[in-house]
């Protein structure tokens, strides 16, 4: 009754009401494991029903097995988003699914997930459906889990990380919500299922997933549940035992979400960054400045991550931890080398010259990301559309003119290229070759 009155007093402002209610709500005990049901009847939900999906659902029903949409797809549907990937959960065991699919002459692929309960069915050679048996974790070590199959939907929900990811949706539109996930989603807050420390200790990567979903879901940057933050700080060191590849996947998603500077600042305060490969203190003022400049330009994750790095040594240390790709490493090196350079005169011409100076098919993309990092929206589009002209002189032309091989040959070619740049790429082959003898004479002195 008190909570009801409290919520109604704040109806004058939706945003203020949600903010204040979320803070109040974090101080009261949560009702765990109490099933709440409701109906979903939206265009996004009905849009899922392809002929292949109907065939899959009918097959499970005819064999007396339950099947429901699980996890992230349910969350997306409740937010009015058509999910890109759909995971399904079922009461059927992997062997029962294999028998059922075999009898129906449905091909199964990628059987590596079977030990964890997942069978992937390919129906009509057009659509894959990943279906996982309900399960509970019997043993966890912070990285991996040993599972046991169950037919209890609540037990499966209880092992999931966040309340907003612990809901199920059946094919009559019924939503099954055991941990107030829908309410949290509507209030745009992110909470662990049950005890935060227990959830984290089952898989320390859940710390990063918490922050990733905060950037995706939350309206406010810093209205975290203090219980969750305390648990993260107490368990942050556990991330040091998580594989760099898993960390890198999550980190790249975090840095392009909403509230990024505030989230990273929180991660630094809780010693999360220190345990995933970032050495020293990150200069958060720089992160804030870069994010403000580039957030609307769709930067690559590595472009944003470069703002967290002070030196190339920091990049090397991070790479040793997370094993980034060569392209990601080279992009960051390029940004670190050029981010403090202030072009004199025509900035567009400066970056055009930089592109012309090297034979690297990926250099233009790196310069474009540098322009995003610097917030140079004023020249970004012009540079993006610019097609570099081809330098009209080759070494063959100098050989025809009997330019001596060796240092003089190379200096002559480079001098011609500089003259060509200074002409704004307008001098043709004949005009450039007229200058060869003068250059050779000068270089021979």
pLDDT at 423: 92
- Domain shared by 174 and 114, yes or no: yes
Query: Sheet harboring 36-39: ordered strands across?
Result: 36-39, 174-177, 167-169, 67-70, 87-90, 127-133, 118-123, 107-109
pLDDT at 5: 37
Domain that holds residue 79: 32-187
The answer to whether residue 281 sits within a structural domain is no
Tokens 């199920």 appear where? 168
The answer to whether residue 127 sits within a structural domain is yes
Using the CB atoms, write b or e for 47-84: b if 16+ within 10 Å.
ebeeebbebbbebbeeeebebbbbbbbbbbbbeeeebe
- Domain shared by 129 and 240, yes or no: no
Supply the DSSP symbol for 115: G
Residues of the chain with pLDDT under 70: 1-33
What's the CA gap between 52 and 57, in Å, rounded? 9
CATH of the domain at 231: 1.10.3090.10
DSSP-H helix ranges across 307-406 = 312-322, 326-338, 347-356, 363-374, 377-385, 395-400
Contact between residue 159 and residue 178 where contact means Cβ atoms under 8 Å apart = no
pLDDT at 8: 39
pLDDT at 293: 96
- Domain shared by 146 and 128, yes or no: yes
pLDDT at 33: 63
Reduce the DSSP state of residue 233 to 3 states and report it.
helix
Using the CB atoms, write b or e for 192-216: b if 16+ within 10 Å.
bbbebbebbbbbbbbbbbbbbbbbb
What's the CA gap between 150 and 143, in Å, rounded? 22
- Domain shared by 348 and 420, yes or no: no
What's the CA gap between 408 and 401, in Å, rounded? 13
- Domain shared by 261 and 302, yes or no: no
- Domain shared by 51 and 156, yes or no: yes
- Domain shared by 161 and 82, yes or no: yes
Contact between residue 262 and residue 225 where contact means Cβ atoms under 8 Å apart = no
Domain boundary among 355, 370, 388: 388
- Domain shared by 173 and 238, yes or no: no
pLDDT at 12: 33
């Amino acid at each position: 009754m008190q909570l009801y009155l409290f919520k109604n007093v704040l109806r004058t402002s939706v945003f203020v009401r949600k903010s204040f209610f979320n803070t109040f709500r974090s101080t009261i005990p949560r009702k765990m494991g109490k099933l709440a049901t409701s109906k979903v009847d939206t265009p996004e939900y009905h849009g899922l029903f392809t002929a292949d999906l109907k065939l899959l659902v009918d097959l499970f029903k005819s064999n007396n097995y339950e099947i429901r949409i699980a996890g992230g797809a349910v969350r997306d549907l409740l937010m009015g988003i058509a999910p890109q990937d759909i995971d399904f959960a079922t009461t059927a065991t992997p062997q029962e699914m294999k028998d059922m699919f075999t009898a129906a002459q449905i091909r199964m692929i990628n059987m590596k997930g079977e030990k964890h309960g997942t069978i992937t069915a390919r129906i009509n050679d057009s659509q894959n459906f990943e279906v996982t048996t309900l399960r509970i974790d019997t043993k966890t070590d912070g990285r991996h889990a040993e599972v046991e199959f169950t037919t209890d939907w609540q037990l499966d929900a209880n092992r999931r990380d966040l309340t907003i990811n612990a809901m199920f949706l059946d094919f009559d539109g019924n939503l099954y919500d055991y941990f107030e996930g829908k309410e949290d989603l509507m209030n745009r807050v992110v909470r662990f299922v049950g005890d935060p420390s227990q959830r984290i200790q089952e898989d320390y990567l859940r710390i990063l997933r918490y922050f990733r979903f905060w950037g995706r879901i939350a309206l406010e940057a810093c209205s975290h549940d203090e219980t969750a933050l305390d648990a993260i700080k107490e368990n942050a060191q556990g991330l040091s035992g998580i594989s760099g590849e898993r960390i890198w996947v999550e980190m790249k998603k975090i840095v392009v979400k909403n509230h990024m500077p505030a989230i990273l600042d929180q991660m630094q305060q809780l010693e999360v960054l220190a345990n995933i490969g970032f050495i020293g203190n990150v200069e958060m003022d720089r992160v804030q400045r870069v994010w403000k400049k580039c957030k609307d330009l769709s930067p690559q994750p590595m472009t944003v991550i470069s703002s967290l790095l002070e030196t190339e040594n920091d990049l090397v240390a991070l790479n040793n931890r997370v094993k980034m790709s060569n392209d990601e490493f080279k992009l960051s090196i390029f940004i670190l080398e050029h981010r403090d350079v202030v072009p004199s005169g025509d900035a567009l011409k400066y970056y055009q010259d930089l592109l012309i100076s090297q034979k690297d098919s990926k250099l233009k993309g790196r310069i474009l990301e540098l322009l995003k990092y610097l917030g140079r929206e004023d020249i970004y589009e012009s540079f993006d559309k610019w097609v570099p002209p081809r330098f009209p002189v080759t070494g063959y032309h100098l050989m025809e003119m009997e330019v001596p091989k060796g240092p003089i040959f190379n200096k002559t070619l480079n001098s011609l290229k500089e003259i060509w740049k200074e002409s704004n790429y307008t001098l043709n082959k004949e005009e450039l070759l007229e200058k060869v003898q003068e250059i050779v004479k000068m270089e021979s002195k």
